[in-house]
Structure 1
Amino acid sequence: MLTGESTRTEAGVVPRDLTALRETARRDAALAEERRVLAADTVAALTRAGFPRHFVPRELGGAAGEFAPLVAGAAAVGEECAATAWCAALFAAHGRLAAYLPPEGRHEVWADGPDARIAAAVVPPQGEATAVDGGWRLDGAWRPASGVDHADWVLLAAWTHGTQGREHRVLAVPRSQVTVVDTWHTSGLRGTGSNTVRCAGVVVPRHRTFTLDVLLRPQPGAARCHTVPYPMVAALMFAAPLLGVARGALRAWTGERIGAERPHPATHTVLAQASARIHTAGLLLDGAAERADRARITPLTVAENRRDATTAATLCREAVDALFHASGLRAQSPDSAVQRAWRDATALAAHAALDPDAAARSYAEAVLSPTGGAAA
């Protein structure tokens, strides 16, 4: 679940404070865009809505929640502000990553409760990790780290040397031990504050680290959300805010044309096709979330989720692109909701986790391998 008290509906667990978060995100969206970072009120609201604790283990006070309510919640927030939805989804996703730390490390990260906000820069490995007694010393820079200005902890990744050779190691560092450099000057997702993190001689004990390969292996006795391999859900979580952005763009574009006496003939086609793409994307993400929460985990189901999430992202980007280009001069105004959605959707869809070509290769390999099984 996404919060302490909730109402179960057919769609799953609905966060108690999601409505308040949407209102706050809508109100502060322009401020976040201008300042290139979320407002403190917005971050407090997304924390109350339960996103940071969504995947935190139950024994540490978290929800160990399912993917369906997270996808639905992030999409709902994305209708109001892409940056808020992005940071909310990532605070949840990074809590899931931190749950793979050794027990002592998990207890340190959530010593003050399950609402600790965690930023991350884990792909690709950056900076330099030097082995020291009992851990590693970190030096260098990592970017981008979305929401880092409001984070309590940061997960950073660097190459280390182990018995099996080079390792992609993730290290948990208190936010107080890093320096944040203002480098996030972009056209889209401006409000995410995805700035650069610098470390200078920060020592991280071994118990606050893990190698990335553990994300591919289920944890014995863990909740379902901690047994699903990372490739099965990464694109799903990144695509959820984009679905919300597309829905918000459609709402804004349609609202501008309601009651028009003589709409342009192309309006009918643009509206029908964009709404169909967005509706289809929602169905694909719902199915992928259900698969992540319920289906047997196989190479094929993992590949199906990547296929569906990246396809949904492409459909959303195409829909927003069509709406923007059908807006004429109206969308050139800096106050245009459609323009902002277009910039945000373009930035979101460019994320490496939403690469449709990589997902297609993975799906083809799963289907065409001798043990791949039948496609969905």
Structure 2
Amino acid sequence: MLSDSTATILAERPSVATVVAGAPRVAQIAARCSDETEAARCLAPEVVEAVREAGFARHFVPAAFGGTEGRFVDMTSAVALVGEGCASAAWAASLSAYAARYGAFLPVEGQEVLWGDGPDALMAGALMPAGKAEPVSGGWRLSGEWKYISGVRFADWVFACSAVPGTVGPDGRGEVRFFAVPRADITVKDTWFTLGMRGTGSDTMVLDDVFVPEHLTLSRFDINAGRATASEARCHTVPVNAVNALPLAVPVVGAARGTVRASAEQNLRRVDRRGAPLREKPSVQTDLARSAGEVDAAELLVQRAARVADGIEETEEGEAAVRGPRDLALAVELSVSAVERLFRGTGTTGHFESDPVQRFWRDVNTAASHVIFSFETTGTAYGAWALGVESAEPRR
């Protein structure tokens, strides 16, 4: 069932986007395969194919290569829906879809390589620079290790990220480039042993003197500025500070919504030690109400960020760069609070591995520990901007 706020967003469109229409099926399959996914510490093959079939891979792909050139509000709704079934599936689907955006910044020759066989190639990407990139004739040679690459085991292509010598950006920082590497050139080191988000399969990618031709590289300067190579679609020309942590925050909010639903379903059946229905207890009712309200608020925050990214909602000059990160960090804090309250209410039975609420609790808390959700950082940046203090933009 769609939440009221998600339904409102969808009602604004004459038809439901393909990725949104396919998301409930992905959520259902991911929830059913959750045990397999957790045990394998990567998405079950059936879930991966469901993600591909639902249109996540093609959503941000240029129309010239059969892609959707879709909206951020639609991806936000779709990821949140998948998160209600499985946080790991939502996280992997979201990051794969957003990684495909990078392809629009490659030279056209490189885009033809990525999507020559169609727009449904699954991508993964390194968020932080690592390894070593050495310029050579016709391209670059890459070596090193890149940690925490969500979806690296199922990706057809992975964008490695490395600092390179030479160009300095307007902020005084050196250039960082992305390099599209095919699955055949990648070695995966099995390193993802975690409390939560196990199914993301965020293992370590190893490259050993891999050659990447020049047409499969792009500068992070271009992504930051929204300078796509041959596309004028909004999803390719929006500056990165209007997107910020949206790919990472939405899976957490979706999982919090799934927690609310799972908790409500459990409390419809549970009784206390005297046999009285828990659903009749005011404390259970108010806990559910407060958590549901927090998740509703979190959804509104991420949807507003998506609307700004799509250009549907305007902001003051400089505001998007600081309000978006603030809102997304706050949305994650609200989600953690909602899930924590409901998990405490499960009692001893909620700590068994078979209980869906404890899985959501582990996943939400693990995802929320990402440094990008630090409200101390994002809140300070927003407060500095609002008060006219210089250098208010949060660092990336």
CA distance in 2, matches of 1:300, 1:166: 25
Deviations 1:72-114 (A, max 9, x none): 1101011111111111111111011222122222221111111
The 5-angstrom pairing of residues 5-20 of structure 1 reads 9-10=10-11, 12=13, 13-15=16-18, 16-20=21-25
Q: Secondary structure at the match of 1:17?
A: helix
Structure 2 CA distance for partners of 1:90 and 1:313, relative to 1, 3 Å: same
Q: CA deviation at 1:305?
A: 1.7
CA distance in 2, matches of 1:68, 1:152: 26
CA distance in 2, matches of 1:143, 1:370: 35
Structure 2 CA distance for partners of 1:134 and 1:365, relative to 1, 3 Å: farther
Asked if 1:192 is matched to 2:200, the reply is yes
CA distance in 2, matches of 1:337, 1:121: 30
CA distance in 1, matches of 2:325, 2:209: 38
Letter in structure 2 aligned against 1:10: A
Structure 2 CA distance for partners of 1:168 and 1:309, relative to 1, 3 Å: same
Q: Do 2:351 and 2:358's aligned partners in 1 also have CA atoms closer than 8 Å?
A: yes
Q: CA deviation at 1:22?
A: 2.1
Q: Do 2:25 and 2:50's aligned partners in 1 also have CA atoms closer than 8 Å?
A: yes
The 5-angstrom pairing of residues 65-144 of structure 1 reads 65-123=70-128, 125-144=129-148
Match of residue 387, structure 2, among 355, 368, 373: 368
Q: Do 1:137 and 1:202's aligned partners in 2 also have CA atoms closer than 8 Å?
A: yes
Asked if 1:60 is matched to 2:70, the reply is no
Residue matched to 2:246: 236
Structure 2 CA distance for partners of 1:325 and 1:312, relative to 1, 3 Å: same
The 5-angstrom pairing of residues 253-332 of structure 1 reads 253-258=263-268, 260=271, 261-263=276-278, 265-293=282-310, 294-296=312-314, 298-332=317-351
Q: Do 2:83 and 2:90's aligned partners in 1 also have CA atoms closer than 8 Å?
A: yes
Asked if 1:215 is matched to 2:223, the reply is yes
Q: Secondary structure at the match of 1:24?
A: helix
Asked if 1:162 is matched to 2:166, the reply is yes
Residue matched to 1:153: 157
Asked if 1:246 is matched to 2:256, the reply is yes
Question: Pairwise CA RMSD of aligned residues?
Answer: 2.0
Q: CA deviation at 1:231?
A: 2.5
Q: Do 2:167 and 2:175's aligned partners in 1 also have CA atoms closer than 8 Å?
A: no
Structure 2 CA distance for partners of 1:162 and 1:371, relative to 1, 3 Å: closer
CA distance in 1, matches of 2:253, 2:151: 20
Query: Quick check: 206-215 or 355-364, which moved more?
Result: 355-364
Structure 2 CA distance for partners of 1:320 and 1:217, relative to 1, 3 Å: same
CA distance in 2, matches of 1:163, 1:50: 37
Q: CA deviation at 1:19?
A: 3.0
Q: Do 2:43 and 2:89's aligned partners in 1 also have CA atoms closer than 8 Å?
A: yes
Asked if 1:174 is matched to 2:188, the reply is no
Residue matched to 1:4: none
Q: Do 2:225 and 2:240's aligned partners in 1 also have CA atoms closer than 8 Å?
A: no
Aligned residues: 364
CA distance in 2, matches of 1:218, 1:288: 17
CA distance in 2, matches of 1:112, 1:25: 27
Q: Do 1:243 and 1:281's aligned partners in 2 also have CA atoms closer than 8 Å?
A: yes
Structure 2 CA distance for partners of 1:134 and 1:361, relative to 1, 3 Å: farther
Deviations 1:179-199 (A, max 9, x none): 011111111110111111101
| Percentage identity across paired residues of the two chains | 38
Q: CA deviation at 1:142?
A: 0.5
Q: CA deviation at 1:127?
A: 0.9
Match of residue 29, structure 2, among 10, 19, 24: 24
The 5-angstrom pairing of residues 354-365 of structure 1 reads 354-365=373-384
Deviations 1:30-52 (A, max 9, x none): 11011111111111111010001
Deviations 1:307-360 (A, max 9, x none): 211111110011111111222201111111111001000111112232222221
Residue matched to 1:38: 43
CA distance in 1, matches of 2:49, 2:277: 45
Structure 1 runs not aligned, ≥5 long: 1-7
Q: Do 1:117 and 1:153's aligned partners in 2 also have CA atoms closer than 8 Å?
A: yes
Letter in structure 1 aligned against 2:32: R
Q: Return structure 1 stretches of 4+ with deviation > 6 angstroms.
A: none
Letter in structure 2 aligned against 1:171: F
Q: Secondary structure at the match of 2:17?
A: strand
Deviations 1:18-73 (A, max 9, x none): 23222211211111011111111111111010001111111111111101111111
Q: Do 1:135 and 1:204's aligned partners in 2 also have CA atoms closer than 8 Å?
A: yes
CA distance in 2, matches of 1:267, 1:96: 43
Query: Quick check: 294-303 or 49-58, which moved more?
Result: 294-303
